[in-house]
Amino acid sequence: MISQKMVSLVKGSSVIRAMFEEGKNLAKKYGAENVYDFSLGNPNVPAPDAVREAMIDIAKNEDPLKLHGYMSNAGYEDVRDTVAKSLNERFGTSFNENNIIMCVGAASGLNVIFKTLLDPGDEVITFAPYFGEYKNYVSNYDGVLVEVSPNTVDFQPKLDEFEEKITKKTKCVLVNSPNNPTGVVYSEATIKALSAILEKKQKEYGTSIYIVSDEPYRELVYGDVEVPYITKYYRNTIVGYSYSKSLSLPGERIGYLVIPSEVDDYDDVFAAACVATRILGYVNAPSLMQKVVARCINEKTDISYYDRNRNTLYEGLTKLGFTCQKPEGAFYLFLKTPVADDKEFVNAAKKYNILVVPGSSFGCAGYVRIAYCVAYETIVNSLPKFAELAKEYDLT
Amino acid sequence: MISQKMVSLVKGSSVIRAMFEEGKNLAKKYGAENVYDFSLGNPNVPAPDAVREAMIDIAKNEDPLKLHGYMSNAGYEDVRDTVAKSLNERFGTSFNENNIIMCVGAASGLNVIFKTLLDPGDEVITFAPYFGEYKNYVSNYDGVLVEVSPNTVDFQPKLDEFEEKITKKTKCVLVNSPNNPTGVVYSEATIKALSAILEKKQKEYGTSIYIVSDEPYRELVYGDVEVPYITKYYRNTIVGYSYSKSLSLPGERIGYLVIPSEVDDYDDVFAAACVATRILGYVNAPSLMQKVVARCINEKTDISYYDRNRNTLYEGLTKLGFTCQKPEGAFYLFLKTPVADDKEFVNAAKKYNILVVPGSSFGCAGYVRIAYCVAYETIVNSLPKFAELAKEYDLT
């Protein structure tokens, strides 16, 4: 009785989520300490103490009618003002509250912006490997996701192929850096080149092509890597941000969209996005959490925790003979599988209670994603299991 | 550049929300105490103290990783179990956690269930007057909202017309009792008759027709009025519930869907609804608030406050010569306009800083909705203004 569209979606339901459920079952069976669940991007660094303090202080001192009531669909004005000012300080932008829409996490922000922009058949280009849900977010609005094939040398986007794939129907380019699943950060050179191509193509076709920059991992970078703020390089850029990783609040569903005043048809786009927020049933971002993130605007998760995981995992795996690029951001490591069939490797790993996600779920077969946002002990204890796995493939 | 669908949606954007924004502007201009804003269903009774206490206790004592982390898309198992048990105690049902999906308010629940069930062209029948957003929720999934015309005698649904309008394409019947905008509660006799018609039509067509019961106002009833729990009368019933009004938490976006095990294709419907939750970008209901409502499962808003408003407003307006039915539930009064054109009346009222919503926004011209979830003083102070308005129409 369910809709035709949903029949196939249920069948091909998220491999990642299925594994999350499987991980919970394995943990029940073998004990959590004997399961190495690298399947889900669920932060393992707790939210900063300031989050707890803000929740308690706000709960104690704010008028519950205002705290829990409806506000404008875009969110509290003072919260949006705080977000805008913080971005301006950090990136030299000049946003104000009318450029910010608070959202139910970045996933809702992407849905809102695709609902706003896409007519049936409109194309959204993205670069493999990419988060598998993008396909669903786009097809929710009868858009077509166009993949640029992966560049497995350094996982920067293939710009030649990108340029070829831009058509009159291209409405958006969906960019995700730091990238899930590779941990790669798109360099400034990449962003500049990508922007130049888009400027040229907009002129050629007389269309507007929006970059939609999905940035849940913006704050998660290691060493002195810089993540360019794309609105500064390309006028028609819309940013989707989430506090899920930066403040370890994925369950709370809080993030925002940035719609700069400079984008084509700004007035319509902003107004339509507010309507989309409402009619998709989000209505507004959760009110208490809006106020909490505004109070914690300068807080950050403890990146050193992930960094230690990253180094330990990278060194451990490469020592065992596995091949991978060292991630610069996010909390994923994209491992080349020693056998072409990544699903076969995923199943082989499962025998050791190691749960990883096949790269084919991200449009890049022959790899697996290892989410290292786990306890350090999980990394350390998994390495002997990875060693046994490596032996199966004669890696050492 | 925005999508064709959104162009008309932005133009016809929610009259209610537009008025909410207008009310804020008028309040700035004339002072909040001189504006009688009856436009929005934004509760004026604060959340029970238990909500604050639960927030503080949970923030202080729960592990932030679990509190703010991802859980199953359907929500925390213990929260869903608590909700199911509470329903069973209250209504003699036999639900368990696998019948409950925690949602981002009822609006997201309706979107999830329409995404789950509707193929393009599928029909959803509803009874005028009805919440205007229903049209958008249905058209989000290319369904067609079929209206049964209003019965302005007592605002119970017109069942003859309903029966005539059921076709092979009817997938859902969207019911809302206590009703927004009339405050009418559908009687047990109505529910039984409606169910009998649906049973007959399901057999006739060999289809499954689901009642989708939108119940944000379930707890808001006055005197000893009973609101029948529809799953007990009709097997294919799915319930959308919200804590927005019952705990005064509209900004927090927290509610749930009930999908009973008895509905046709339960396994598929439940699985698809979980997928829909994810791919629409809600992912899961806000995690802290899930835990808060579970702790406050036996709490209720102070209904006596709304009851006083209801009586004062009803008596005041009828004394002035206005015509309306006394609401039995929700916090809306549906006033017959003394002139056929309800929008003309809305504009006349605005001259006195009285903001009400035209009935035509609810598919029932010739009426206005007055949301009396406001300060008691607003009711009292508005009555002399309503008196001046009444004079304009020679009511007294």
- State the smallest CA–CA distance between residue A159 and chain B in angstroms: 25
Gap between the Cα atoms of A115 and B107, Å rounded? 16
Largest CA-CA distance found in chain A, in angstroms, rounded: 65
How many residues in total does chain B contain? 396
The CA distance from A49 to the nearest CA of chain B, in Å, is 9
Contacts of A118 in chain B (CB under 8 A): 3
Question: What's the whole-number average pLDDT of chain A?
Answer: 96
Per-residue pLDDT at A40 exceeds 90: no
Distance from CA of B390 to the nearest CA of A (A): 31
The pTM for the full model equals 0.96
B281 to A108: CB separation less than 8 angstroms, yes or no: yes
Task: Tell me the mean pLDDT in the region B156-168.
Answer: 98
Which of A331-340, A362-371, B36-45, B81-90 shows the lowest mean pLDDT across its residues?
Answer: B36-45
pLDDT in tens, B205-229: 999 999 999 999 999 999 999 999 9
Q: Nearest residue on chain A to B263, judged by CA atoms?
A: A1
Can you tell me the mean pLDDT for A175-191? 98
pLDDT, tens digit, for every residue of A235-251?
999 999 999 999 999 99
Confidence of residue A14 (pLDDT cuts 50, 70, 90): low
Tell me: pLDDT of B19 over 90.
no
Q: In this complex, do A52 and B69 lie within 8 Å of one another by their Cβ atoms?
A: no
Task: Return the structure tokens found at A316.
Answer: 């451990």
Question: How far, CA to CA in Å, does A384 sit from each of A264, A324, A325, B144?
Answer: 54, 18, 21, 58
> A107 and B283 in contact by Cβ < 8 A?
yes
Mean pLDDT of B353-365: 95
Interatomic CA distance for residues A19 and A37, integer angstroms: 9
Q: Ramachandran region of residue A180, left (φ > 0), alpha (ψ -120 to 50) or beta?
A: beta
Residue A80 CA to residue A74 CA, distance in Å, equals 8
Residue B12 pLDDT > 80, yes or no?
no
Distance of CA B145 to the CA centre of its chain: 17
- Average the pLDDT over each of A10-24, A88-102, A311-325, B19-33 and give the range with the smallest value: A10-24
- DSSP lists the bridge partners of residue B242 as B255
Helix (H) or strand (E) run with residue A125 in it:
strand A123-127
- Minimum distance, in Å, between the CA of residue A73 and any CA atom of chain B: 9
pLDDT digit string, tens, across residues B81-104: 999 999 999 999 999 999 999 999
Q: Which of A1, A58, A98, A373 to mutate to test the interface with B (most CBs of B within 10 A)?
A: A1
Inspect the interface and report whether the beta carbons of B70 and A250 lie closer than 8 Å. yes
- In this predicted structure, the answer to whether residue A255 has a pLDDT above a threshold of 90 is yes
Contact B272 A105 (CB under 8 A): no
Task: Give the one of A13, A46, A265 whose C-beta lies nearest to B1's C-beta.
Answer: A265
pLDDT given at position B198: 98
Residue B241: helix, strand or coil by DSSP? strand
In this complex, which of A68, A275, A281 lies closest to B47 when CB atoms are compared?
Answer: A68
Tell me the shortest Cα–Cα distance from B190 to chain A, in angstroms.
26
DSSP H/E element including A386: helix A376-392
Q: Residue B11's pLDDT is what?
A: 80
Quickly state the pLDDT bin for A362 (edges 50, 70, 90).
Answer: very high
Residue type (1 letter), A314: Y
- How far apart, in whole angstroms, are the C-alpha atoms of residue B368 and residue B346? 8
Region of A281 on the Ramachandran plot (φ > 0 left; ψ -120 to 50 alpha; else beta) = left
pLDDT(B18) > 80: no
Distance in angstroms (rounded) separating the CA atoms of residues A376 and A382: 10
Minimal CA separation from B241 to chain A, in Å? 13
- Give yes or no for residue A365 having a pLDDT over 70: yes
Q: What is the pLDDT of residue A9?
A: 86
Across chain B, mean pLDDT equals 96
pLDDT of A62 higher than 70: yes
CB contact under 8 A, A116 and B2: yes
Inter-chain touch A60–B52, beta carbons under 8 Å: yes
User: A181 to each of A17, A122, A317, A330, A364, how far by Cα in Å?
Assistant: 15, 25, 17, 8, 10
Average pLDDT estimate for B332-356 = 96
Inter-chain CB proximity B251 and A44 less than 8 Å: no
In Å, how far is B394's CA from the nearest CA of chain A?
Answer: 37
Percentage of chain B surpassing pLDDT 90?
Answer: 91
Nearest to B42 among A51, A70, A280 (CB): A70
Cβ distance of B282 and A69 shorter than 8 Å: no
Which of B125, B131, B173, B120 lies closest to B147, judged by CA? Answer: B125
Q: Give B33's contacts (C-beta < 8 A, 6+ positions apart).
A: B377, B381
Contact B272 A9 (CB under 8 A): yes
Q: Note the pLDDT of residue B9.
A: 86
Cβ–Cβ of A282/B17 closer than 8 Å? no
Percent of chain A with pLDDT over 70: 99
What band does A23 get if pLDDT is binned at 50, 70 and 90? confident
Contacts of B285 in chain A (CB under 8 A): 253
Share of chain B above pLDDT 70, in %: 99
State the pLDDT at residue A119: 97
Chain B residue with minimum CA distance to A289: B252
**Average confidence (pLDDT) over A219-244:** 97
Q: What is the three-class DSSP state of B171?
A: strand
Say yes or no to pLDDT of A8 above 90: no
Domains and CATH numbers, chain B: 4-48+301-392 (3.90.1150.10), 49-295 (3.40.640.10)
Per-residue pLDDT of B239-273, as tens digits, reads: 999 999 999 999 999 999 999 999 999 999 999 99
Predicted confidence at residue A59, as pLDDT, reads 97
Exposed (0-12), middle (13-18) or buried (19+): which is B189, by Cβ within 10 Å? exposed
The lowest-confidence range among A16-25, A88-97, A171-180 is: A16-25
pLDDT at B267: 94
Kindly determine whether residue B10 and residue A68, on different chains, have CB atoms separated by under 8 Å: no
